Amino acid sequence: MSIPNEAIQKLYQEIEAQLVNSQQQIGICKAQISTKQRDIRLMELTSKEMGSLPKDTSVYEGVGKMFVNVPMDTVDKRMSSETSQLKSDISGLEKKLYSLEMTHKNSKDNIGKILNPANKS
């Protein structure tokens, strides 16, 4: 049984669009992961630097165009919670990246099957 050329061409275009879309999404996802990893490193470095300061040191946080004196414990707790949130975000992004990479691989395999129908497995 033979499939009409128009149907094959339409299927090929749909798979190719899915391939391109997944490739773009993979790039975006990798960029988001690296940004979040950079933010984690920055938080850890800041926390380490703050840990070497005496406990009575004045710490200021930016609020709009001004700075507010905040207890060091509060800043440390906030940075710790932000770090754990970033780590969970990275975990979710890694799962999304795996899914996108599988979609990309499957699309490439399907295009190969369409272009080389003699190599059916």
Predicted pLDDT of residue 89: 96
Predicted pLDDT of residue 119: 58
Query: Can you give the pTM of this predicted structure?
Result: 0.80
Task: Give the number of other CB atoms < 10 A from CB of residue 90.
Answer: 19
In this structure, which CATH number among 3.40.50.300, 3.40.190.80, 2.30.110.10, 1.10.287.370 belongs to the domain 5-115? 1.10.287.370
Q: Where are the domains of the chain?
A: 5-115
pLDDT, averaged per 10 consecutive residues of the chain (121 residues), comes to 76 89 95 97 94 89 93 92 96 95 90 74 51
What whole-number distance in Å separates Cα of residue 65 and Cα of residue 35?
25
What whole-number distance in Å separates Cα of residue 21 and Cα of residue 15?
10
Predicted pLDDT of residue 27: 96
